[in-house]
Structure 1
Amino acid sequence: MNLPEGVVIHGREPRLGGPEWTERYRGAVMNTFGDPQRVLVRGEGSHVWDADGNKYLDLLAGIAVNALGHGHPAILEAVTQQLQTLGHISNFFASAPQVELAERLVGLLGGEGRVFFANSGTEANEAAFKATRRTGRTTIVAAEGSFHGRTMGALALTSKAAYREPFEPLPGDVRWVPYGDADALAAAVDDTVAAVILEPIQGEAGVIVPPADYLAAARRITSEHGALLWLDEVQTGMGRTGDWFGHTPSGVTPDLVTLAKGLGGGIPIGACVALGDAATLLGPGNHGTTFGGNPVATAAALAVISTIESGGLLEATRVRGDQLADGLSLNARVESVTGRGLLRGVVLSEPRAAEVQKAALDAGLIINAPTPDRLRLAPPLVLSEDEAADAVRTLSTIIDEVLA
């Protein structure tokens, strides 16, 4: 059968390579990301393959999304069974997975609360932003180096000027403070502040870890002024740091927690969890979503949580993360390795992270260069000991070659 160029019947298209797919991408997809680095076609565990047959060890996991790696049977089974049972219902109705997931998240956070489900981290932050307005105050204190999303509300709270300035004026009265500086935070928060938004570890800034007492200080300061403490756990949550949440070691109880990325293990889902009195800030008509909390996404998230528990992946994440950090720290051209668990920043002795990232990709490692002198590693929580050892050897060699 002769088909018009580009027409696919049941997936039977002549195999195309990366250059051909990239050319089609340029003609069909908005140029918001530039050309793709590779065109990926398949994944299994901690590995992916591109359209040209090349294999990569995925040390980024879709930017901390694929918590269970690629093609994990628990997610496949949960999504398949749920689609066969009930796919989408809208929020005129409820489903069992939606309710069960809300209960699990509140339980993991250790308090009384309620959940608003969305489709992404940005949308979770939009819900939280709207909740802060219900306090009767409008000022938000945010940290320099922060990233909270690209929609207009979340963007207003995102530090990078290059992201914000083309779209100003943005909503909200935002005060910026240096991340990790409790004294600066105390000076910025007064009785007009609705909320302080912080990441327990800043991801897009290069995996920046604040002082150990920083979140406790933020909790004390916000409580003194009747402000909400809002923790953006989109990247750090759901086991990524070796605890269920990045803020867990601090012992604080926030008012708002936003989640996404690893929550669905690759299926789009976000959640705004409001604890204590904050749980009643949003009421009927205050917010909504068509797809948020749909049965398929919530079933996938329940499978992720169950697998992390049954597979001992919190402990495994701590062990594998230490293995990566200890191994890479032996390289003389690595000044330090930051972060916890499997969210790690590799600080280079020279600002050539982009060159290292490109060389690593050519060598079969997917990593990220969020700043000129930092690499970011956020592999699947199922990364094996052998895979971690291979990552250390390969990346260390590449760093030596590029920085020589």
Structure 2
Amino acid sequence: MSHLFPTYSKWELEPESAKGSYLYCKDGGVYLDFTSGIGVCNLGHCHPEVKESVEQQLNKFWHISNLFPIDLQEKTAEILTNASGLDLVFFANSGAEANEAAIKLARKATGKTKILTFHQSFHGRTFATMSATGQDKIKQGYGPMLDKFEYVPFNDLQALEQQLTEEVAAVMLEVVQGEGGIYVASKEFLQGVEVLCKEKGALLLIDEIQTGIGRTGKAFAFQHFGIKPDIISVAKGMANGIPTGAIVADGRLKEFFGPGSHGTTFGGNPIAMAAATKTMEIIFQPTFLEEVQTKSEWIFSLLKQKLSGNQLVKDIRGLGLMIGIELDMPVVSILEELRKEGLIVLNAGEKVIRLLPSLNTPKEDIERAIAILEKNLNIHAKLTI
């Protein structure tokens, strides 16, 4: 009997160890992991340089509280600000906490309370971030959500313009909707959102929890589109598996997060900062990000070549190494079959297979994963004829 709340439908696999792109399970099975811990282990499992950085800090101290100056926090914050073009960082423990901080800062800085987000968005599972999320299924059973959140169709600039009044504190969005089905915002839409926010005195909040830290081939996904947000939130890939999160914000917002205005016991923990510093030093190298973009182009080309003739495949979309394969059927049973073949992938909604390989996954592992996908989807296509 488990003593855990059954909040997750557990898979049949029980990992014993992991390295690079592979999980080694207690049943003796070896599995190619194209989930990266849901977009977390961007450098693969147990990356040696990140491990060494963490071990060095473990031998110094683990926790002292944010009442002390911590050099590693300053170093990590400098990496984030240099990479994003923004100015100030607040460290949290997770993506949901980072989004909470972004919402609080936006409301305090503007003196307004209404925040616009988008249908099918996902921003977390606290009450504020559930309220910000444009999916009813995650809110069921919890009673009334926090008010002052309104939802707009994604990629619909005209609809946003109708709701973006001077009463709005902020517009909050994902450049690529991850949990919503791997939908990528258009350049025209994002640039239009930025203009409208400036016109109406609203802040632009970009949730980079899943898209950030190199996942799309840039340090942050917004950088593909020639825009500059006021606040971004980051977490998942930031420390390659050690829990941490952050917001990075424009310097003019400094006065609104002064002493006592917000806080955290564990945010900016030295162990997490040691992992984050080394992770981002590696990923933010221009040559590394260029390789991610090159790899992305190759993967999309290969997927379209192998799957374009499959009648079940409706669309292949995404950005960088955040890839969705939309099918004409639910994918849950397919994911189970893929695991039996040695490939672990995710869904993004009911009918989308989501691929989130580590950014440094070798080419031969990618070819193997796509071959398994092709074989499985071809079998299902024949069964539907």
TM range (shorter): over 0.9
Match of 2:356 in 1: 378
| Separation in 2, partners of 1:288, 1:99 | 17
Task: Return the TM-score normalized by structure 2.
Answer: 0.95
Match of 2:103 in 1: 129
Equivalent residues in 2 for 1:191-206 (5 A)? 191-206=166-181
1:43 aligns with 2:11: no
Match of 1:170 in 2: 145
| Separation in 1, partners of 2:340, 2:326 | 21
Assess, with a 3 A threshold, how the Cα gap between structure 1 residues 97 and 54 changes in structure 2: closer, same or farther. same
Assess, with a 3 A threshold, how the Cα gap between structure 1 residues 400 and 279 changes in structure 2: closer, same or farther. farther
CA shift for structure 1 position 310: 4.9
Query: Which of 331, 338, 347 is the aligned partner of 2:326?
Result: 347
| Separation in 2, partners of 1:60, 1:314 | 19
Match of 2:64 in 1: 89
Q: Give CA deviations for 1:133-165 in whole Å, capped at 9, x if unaligned.
A: 202111000000100000111111011112113
**Bigger mean CA offset, 35-44 vs 362-371:** 35-44
Assess, with a 3 A threshold, how the Cα gap between structure 1 residues 171 and 352 changes in structure 2: closer, same or farther. closer
| Separation in 2, partners of 1:279, 1:251 | 24
1:392 aligns with 2:366: no
Query: Which of 40, 53, 58 is the aligned partner of 2:33?
Result: 58
1:276 aligns with 2:251: yes
Report the AA paired with residue 35 of structure 2.
L
| Separation in 1, partners of 2:272, 2:177 | 26
The answer to whether the 8 Å contact 1:329/1:336 transfers is no
Tell me the SS of whatever aligns to 1:224.
helix
1:267 aligns with 2:242: yes
Report the AA paired with residue 30 of structure 1.
F
| Separation in 2, partners of 1:311, 1:141 | 34
The answer to whether the 8 Å contact 2:127/2:146 transfers is yes
| Separation in 2, partners of 1:136, 1:311 | 39
CA shift for structure 1 position 90: 0.6
Match of 1:336 in 2: 315
What percent identity do the matched residue pairs reach? 37
Number of corresponding residues? 377
Report the AA paired with residue 258 of structure 2.
G
The answer to whether the 8 Å contact 1:122/1:148 transfers is yes
CA shift for structure 1 position 393: 0.9
Tell me the SS of whatever aligns to 1:263.
helix
1:116 aligns with 2:90: yes
The answer to whether the 8 Å contact 1:74/1:307 transfers is no
CA shift for structure 1 position 279: 3.5
Equivalent residues in 2 for 1:210-221 (5 A)? 210-221=185-196
1:360 aligns with 2:334: no
Report the AA paired with residue 120 of structure 1.
S
Report the AA paired with residue 94 of structure 2.
S
The answer to whether the 8 Å contact 1:355/1:402 transfers is no
The answer to whether the 8 Å contact 2:324/2:348 transfers is no
Detail structure 1 runs of 4+ shifted over 6 Å in the superposition: none
The answer to whether the 8 Å contact 1:236/1:246 transfers is yes
Q: Give CA deviations for 1:196-236 in whole Å, capped at 9, x if unaligned.
A: 00001100011101222111111101110100000000000
Match of 1:182 in 2: 157
Report the AA paired with residue 93 of structure 2.
N
Report the AA paired with residue 222 of structure 1.
C
Report the AA paired with residue 101 of structure 2.
A
Match of 2:221 in 1: 246
Report the AA paired with residue 42 of structure 1.
S
CA shift for structure 1 position 373: 2.2
Tell me the SS of whatever aligns to 1:286.
coil
| Separation in 2, partners of 1:213, 1:122 | 28
CA shift for structure 1 position 98: 0.4
1:154 aligns with 2:132: no
Give unmatched runs, 5+ long, in structure 2.
none
Tell me the SS of whatever aligns to 1:283.
coil
